Amino acid sequence: MAITIGVFDSGFGGLTVLRELLPLIPGAHYVYLGDTARLPYGSKSQITIARYAAESARFLANRGADHLVIACNTASALAMDEIRSSVAIPVTGVIEPVVSAAQQRHPNSDVLVLATPATVQSHAYRAHCAGHGLRASEKACPLLVPLVEEGWVDHSITKQVLRIYLREALSECTPQAVLLGCTHYPLIAPAIQATLRELGSHAEVIDSARATAAAIARAIGASHPPAAGPATFRCYATDSVEKFAHLGSQFLAQPIPHVDLLDLGG
Amino acid sequence: MAITIGVFDSGFGGLTVLRELLPLIPGAHYVYLGDTARLPYGSKSQITIARYAAESARFLANRGADHLVIACNTASALAMDEIRSSVAIPVTGVIEPVVSAAQQRHPNSDVLVLATPATVQSHAYRAHCAGHGLRASEKACPLLVPLVEEGWVDHSITKQVLRIYLREALSECTPQAVLLGCTHYPLIAPAIQATLRELGSHAEVIDSARATAAAIARAIGASHPPAAGPATFRCYATDSVEKFAHLGSQFLAQPIPHVDLLDLGG
């Protein structure tokens, strides 16, 4: 029987992880849950985030998931212990894979992490990087999520905002790698790489969605035989299924024909 | 005894209404509640918004409010009936006063409403305008709240974004008034007015915070004798009291020395 992989995010940003996963594991079935009714997690307390994430994890485990992907930076930063103790299946977060990829490509180096204000405030990337011998500077980029959600991924305004954020960050560090610490940012990865070059930086952009998908494919490949046929997916959202289908299609880079509405409570 | 006025918003945007109120009613005491743990209301369903808003209204009534101001566009658009039936005090929303001010200054005219996507989708402004003989075009401006929260109120990026939004809106209507349908927008009212001029529009910007405060001062003045001394205020937030104090000070245009944390539940 084909493997079922649960993918969780507070919204639809985690669909960039699903997009990378779909071609990697033939025959897999994905169940994606976006807890859109309760986003953004970033402004909530740790105890609330842990409760929401554990509820979502249990839902995906009950839907038959054999492996769980926490494609949400806030939950990966603040709730991995609670998620792991709430389900009996392996759980992969989004922070460890990208930090591990950076360490392999640029060992013992300075790295720059771009993320939302909440993720920066948690300093989860800094801690993971230190554990891998990397020195991390963290830069909060509050406008990037709204710009991506406005659909301005290849827009002059977005390029100007990137120039402002990256110039500020590069005035305080000289990174060899730039880690995308938010699942919205892969959509503007080319613009981030181009802006770094323009500002004289040779840093390599490392995409957390791609690094996470690769880590999961390795873990699954070691434990499950490959199945035949294309991968399939089903999406659940806790509110605004139309918005999810519309905006989510851009993150997944393919149409989402149907989204199921799910009530996880208050 | 001095009058107590409760002011409610999902966040700190409603502090622009409190800022306008403070000098208008001498001796008044204000209790402000920002339901920051559950924002943004705009992405939630009507039934959830109504429940949250009614809970907040009851809290403010129990804190001794004699009059309630719903300084939240989403709640004013979608939950006024539920709020009114949950408390026994007069309730003023933020939509009726600005539409009424527009009608008095530009009767039977075309107006443009700038608002968040959720407020535009509710078409509450269009309905209120129609009831006052005004023809409203509604323009969703999703980036303006994040730009104001980034503190870029007098920034070239914000001016460029305004030029894009207003050029799109003015290609479809020729308004005599522009209504600010979000409590964040008063902070960029001068930039909005300047951009309109630059694009050849003679429309007058009508600020909902100022219009709402004036309407409340009239209502209070008719029912309560003026008291002596400066107005005082106390702020409650349901999460992130530090962020509330920091960012809220910009909206209130004065320091907020203390914010009380309040738990309204899940």
Chain segment A26-51, per-residue pLDDT in tens: 899 999 999 988 888 877 778 889 99
A36, A157, A239: residue with CB nearest B157: A157
Residue B72 a catalytic site member: yes
A43 neighbourhood in chain B, CB within 8 Å: 36-37, 39, 239-240, 243
The residues, any chain, with a CB within 8 Å of residue B63's CB and separated by 6 or more, are: B4, B6, B31
DSSP B196-247: HHHTT--PEEEEHHHHHHHHHHHHHHHHS---SS--EEEEEESS-HHHHHHH
- Residues B149-179 have pLDDT tens digits of 999 999 999 999 999 999 999 999 999 999 9
Local confidence band at B266 (pLDDT 50, 70, 90 cut-offs)? low
A145 neighbourhood in chain B, CB within 8 Å: 146
Domains of chain B (ranges; CATH) run 4-93+210-261 (3.40.50.1860), 95-208 (3.40.50.1860)
Record the tokens describing residue B140, joined without a space.
């969703």
**How many CB atoms are located within 10 Å of the residue A88 CB?**
7
Angle at B26 between CA B22 and CA B31, to 5 degrees: 50
Interface touch A143/B142, C-beta < 8 Å: no
Q: Say if residues A186 and A76 touch (Cβ distance below 8 Å).
A: no
pLDDT, position A162: 98
Of the candidates B29, B35, B37, the residue with the CA atom closest to the CA atom of residue B6: B29
Chain B residues near any Cβ of chain A (below 8 Å): 36-37, 39, 43-45, 48, 142-143, 145-147, 149-150, 156-157, 160-161, 164, 239-240, 243, 265-266
From start to end of chain B, where are the E strands? Answer: 4-9, 29-34, 67-70, 91-92, 110-115, 135-140, 177-180, 204-207, 232-237, 259-261
Instruction: Tell whether omega for the bond before B117 is within 30 degrees of 0, i.e. cis.
Output: no
Q: What is the mean pLDDT of residues A58-81?
A: 96
- Residues A119-135 have pLDDT tens digits of 999 999 999 999 999 99
Q: The tokens 């799109």 sit on which residue?
A: B168
Instruction: Tell whether omega for the bond before B226 is within 30 degrees of 0, i.e. cis.
Output: no
Angle at B90 between CA B88 and CA B93, to 5 degrees: 125
pLDDT, position A266: 53
Minimal-distance CA residue of chain B relative to A47? B266
Dist. CA A246–CA B128, nearest whole Å: 29
Local confidence band at B239 (pLDDT 50, 70, 90 cut-offs)? confident
Angle at B62 between CA B61 and CA B66, to 5 degrees: 35
B36, B43, B147: residue with CB nearest A43: B36
User: Rounded to 10 degrees, what is the CA torsion of B150, B155, B156, B157?
Assistant: 10
Q: What is the mean pLDDT of residues B111-129?
A: 94
Catalytic residue among B72, B129, B141, B235: B72
Interface touch B45/A239, C-beta < 8 Å: yes
Dist. CA B127–CA B80, nearest whole Å: 14
Dist. CA B92–CA B94, nearest whole Å: 7
Interface touch A150/B157, C-beta < 8 Å: no
A43, A142, A240: residue with CB nearest B146: A142
- Residues A158-175 have pLDDT tens digits of 999 999 999 999 999 999
Local confidence band at A233 (pLDDT 50, 70, 90 cut-offs)? very high
Burial of A27 (0-12, 13-18, 19+ CB in 10 A): middle
Interface touch B39/A37, C-beta < 8 Å: no
The residues, any chain, with a CB within 8 Å of residue A111's CB and separated by 6 or more, are: A102, A129, A134, A135, A136, A137, A175, A176, A177, A178, A179
SS3 B33: strand
A118 neighbourhood in chain B, CB within 8 Å: none
Residue B141 a catalytic site member: no
Q: What percent of chain B is helix, strand and coil (3-state, nearest 5)?
A: 50, 20, 35
Local confidence band at B206 (pLDDT 50, 70, 90 cut-offs)? very high
Mean pLDDT of chain A: 94
> What positions of A carry a catalytic annotation?
72, 182
SS3 A30: strand
Residue of B12, B35, B36, B44 to mutate when probing chain A, most A C-beta within 10 A:
B44
Q: Say if residues A256 and A244 touch (Cβ distance below 8 Å).
A: yes
